Amino acid sequence: MMNDLLELIMTRRTIGKVKDDPVPREDIEKILEAGNWAPSHFNTQPWKYFVITGNGRKRLGEAYAKIALLEKGEGLTDAETKALYEKSMNKAFRAPLVIAVACLPHEEEYVVEAEEFAAVAASIQNMLLAAHALGYGAIWRTGAPSYHPVMKELFGLGAKDRLMGLVYIGRPDMVRESRRIPVEQKTEWWS
């Protein structure tokens, strides 16, 4: 079993190009369940998932487009504005399944906010591994739009809440190799 887990970890890759075939709900639920079992300090479980499929992706696309127009739309011609809108809108349709993952940090005095964000990152890693185990390709996307107030508004996030990323999932439509710096170069042994 340990070898299977290590194999899964070492063969998972970031897959940015996937087919548009829908992901069955039972597979989505397995991916979410894997995310839900991530560790968190004080068992706060600070994650929240937004499952976006089908026409639901249009709301995400509209947020991408609104952000692009706010950031880059000034002084564009009508044709350039339309092209920017369509390009931004299409970002939501790069995969048949998008899971937006937010961190809702607990506010108790003993809770360290950075640990809440680390827990959500662990949740996302669990989801990426589960997707890979089920034969899907996935990519964890962030970037400036993820942190824009328009995205916070779209997902109804509070002042301290943060969108940690969008996980795009579908059947792989590419092969990707990856190299790692040998672990020996990143490790100090203290005995």
**Tokens matching residue 132:** 């890979």
Pick 15-54+94-174's CATH classification: 2.10.69.10, 3.90.870.10, 3.40.109.10, 3.20.20.150.
Answer: 3.40.109.10
Taken in order 64, 175, 53, 30, the sign of the CA dihedral is negative
Q: Report pTM.
A: 0.94
Per DSSP, 1 falls in state: -
> Is pLDDT of 129 > 90?
yes
Strand 97-103 relative to strand 47-53, pairing: antiparallel
pLDDT value at residue 54: 97
Break the chain into its structural domains and give their ranges: 15-54+94-174
pLDDT value at residue 73: 80
Q: Dump pLDDT digits (tens) for 147-183.
A: 999 999 999 999 999 999 999 999 999 998 888 999 9
Which of 114, 122, 97 minimizes the C-alpha distance to 34? 122
pLDDT tier, 3 (very low <50, low <70, confident <90, very high otherwise): confident
pLDDT value at residue 92: 97
- As a whole number of angstroms, the distance between CA 119 and CA 112 comes to 11
Q: Dump pLDDT digits (tens) for 80-102.
A: 999 999 999 999 999 999 999 99
